[in-house]
Structure 1
Amino acid sequence: MTRVTQVRDLGVHLTPELTFREHIIKICKKAYRNLGFVLRQSQGFTNITTVRVLYDALVRSHLEYGGVIWAPHEAKYSVMLERVQNKFTRHLYWRLYGVYPLYPLMYPTLFVLGMVGYNQLKVRREFALILYIIKLLRGKEHNPGVLRCLCLCVPDRYVERRRRPPLLSVPTARTNLLAKTPLTRAIRTINEIQNNIDIFSCQFSELARMILFILCYKLD
C-alpha cells in the first residue's frame, strides 16, 4: 500500500502539515501554462475584450478558485500568484498603448494594473471573503458553522459617544498563523468598514465599492 502525502478535496490540495503551499505552486504552474497558450493564440486578435475574456476564463479562474480557503498569508506565495497576472497585464498594457512597461520605463505594477483595469489578486480574494461574511450576517447565505464564530462586540462599560465600538469581536490569536486566518482578517476589515457605512442596511453595490476602496488602500 502506497503512502499518500497529499489529498485533493474539491480541487484543493492538502498536505499533512495542513498548509496550502503545494496547492499554490501547482496552480501557479498550471496558470503559467494556460497563460502562455492564451498569449500565443491571441497574437492576431484585434479585440482586446476577447483577450481579457480568455485570460479570465483560462488563467485567473485557476488562481482564484477556492481562494477564500487557501489564501496565503506568506508574502512569498502571494507574490508568486501576483507574478502570473502581472505578466498578462504588462502584455495587455503593450497591446493597448504600444509600450511594454518594463526597462527602461519601469512603470510600477499598481500603475499598470490601474491602466488596464485590473485589481491585485490578493485584493480580489479579500473582497470575496468579506462579501461572503457580510452576506452571512445579512442572512443571504447559510453557513451555521461560520456564523457561530461571529460574535457581536457588546461593550461592558459606558462608551463615549465620540467613540464607536467595533461591530464584531476579534478572536485572540497567540500565533501569527491564527492571526492571519480568513475569518480573523475578514472581521478586522468589517470593523473598519462599519465606521463608514452600515453593512446591514446599505445597498450591496455601494457596500462593494466601499469594501474595494478600503482593501485597495489598506493592502497597497
Structure 2
Amino acid sequence: MTLNIKKCLVISFSNKKQKYLYNYELSGHTLERKSNVKDLGIIFDDQLTFRTHYQYITTRANKLLGFIIRQSQDFKKPSSLLNLYYTLVRSLLEYGSCIWSPFYEVHRKSIERVQKKCLKVISYRSGFNRTLYSYEQRLQKFKVTKLETRRKQQDLIYLYKIIHAYIDSPSLLSFLNINISCRTRNYAPFMLRSYINNTSFYNPLVRMCRTYNELVVKNTQIDIFNPRIHKFKADLTRNLS
C-alpha cells in the first residue's frame, strides 16, 4: 500500500508535562508532529480533552444557526425552523458524541447554548416570548430534548448494542465487568474500579456504565439486558426526557 507522506502525521497522547517524543520516518521523510488531529470528523488533541473539538463544533453550529435564522424570516411554522435546526445544526453537535461527550460544565453549557438560542428565536417568532421565559419552558412547549440528555441516551444505546452484539466488537465487550450478584435495592449492573485521573474516569465505556448504574437505581424498569431494543429505547426516552 502506497501512503501519501504529506497526509501522514504523528500525535502522542499523554498527560505528562515532559513527554517522550520520537521522530518517526516514512520512506526517508520525517513525519510532521501535531498536537491536534482531525479523524473522521472528530478533532483529537494530545491530552484527549477535546476542547478544540468543542470550540470547532459550537463555532460552526452557531454560524449554521445564524444562516438558518436569516434565511427563514418568512417561515411561519415553528416546526419548519426546528426541522432545519435538527438536520443542519443538532446533527453536527451530536456527531460522535459517544467519544467526546463533555464532562466539564463549561463545555456542556457552551454546546447547550446553541439550542437555547434556537428555541429563543422560535419562541419570539411564535409570540411566546412573553410567556416562555426559561429554557425548560421552551423545551416543554416545542417538545425538544436537552442535548445533554440526548447524549446520555446515545451513550446507553451504544452500550446496549455492544452487549447485544449489534456492534460486533469482542474487544469492547471484554472491557465490561458485569455484576452477577443478586439484584438489590442499590444493585449496580456494572462493576467499576477507582480511577486516578479524569481521562480514565470519563473513559467512554466507563462513563456509559456509570451512567446506566446511576439511572437504573431510580428507574428499575430500564433493563439494558432486555433483548428488545425498541423497548429499551422507549424506556430511555420516557425516563430521560
Farther-moved stretch of structure 1 (112-121 vs 36-45): 112-121
Structure 2 distance, partners of 1:117, 1:164, is 32
The one-character-per-residue Cα deviations of 1:23-63 (angstroms, maximum 9, x if unpaired) are 11011111110000000101101233321221111111111
1:203 to 228, 235, 240: 228
1:100-157: CA deviation from partner (whole Å, max 9, x where unpaired): 26xxx672212211111111111111111111111221222212222111121134xx
Name which of structure 1's ranges 195-204 and 71-80 shifts more when overlaid on structure 2. Answer: 195-204
Structure 1 stretch 119-128 or stretch 1-10: which is displaced more? 1-10
CA contact (8 A) 2:201 2:207 kept: yes
Letter in 2 for 1:13: I
Confirm or deny: 8 A CA contact 1:93 1:115 kept in the other structure: no
Instruction: Check whether the contact 2:164–2:227 (CA below 8 A) recurs between aligned residues.
Output: no
Structure 2 alignment gaps of length 5 or more:
1-29
Would you tell me which structure has more helix in proportion to its own residues? 1
- Tell me if the contact between 1:127 and 1:215 (Cα under 8 Å) persists in the aligned partners: yes
Q: Contact 1:68–1:125 at 8 Å: present in 2 too?
A: yes
Q: What TM-score do the two structures reach when normalised by structure 1?
A: 0.83
Unmatched 5+ stretches in structure 1: none
Give the 5 Å matches for 1:1-220: 4-96=34-126, 98-100=127-129, 107-155=133-181, 163=185, 165-191=187-213, 192-193=215-216, 195-201=220-226, 203-216=228-241
Greater Cα shift, 199-208 or 65-74: 199-208
Q: Secondary structure at the match of 1:207?
A: helix
Larger Rg: 2
Separation (CA, whole Å) in 1 of partners of 2:165 and 2:133? 44
Give the deviation of 1:188 after TM superposition. Answer: 2.3
1:71-116 Cα distance to aligned partner (Å, 9 max, x none): 11011111000001100011122233x0326xxx672212211111
Report the residue type matching 1:206 in the other structure: K
Q: State the Cα distance separating 1:214 from its structure 2 match.
A: 4.0
Aligned-residue Cα RMSD (Å) equals 2.4
Q: Provide the identity percentage.
A: 31
AA aligned opposite 2:34 = V
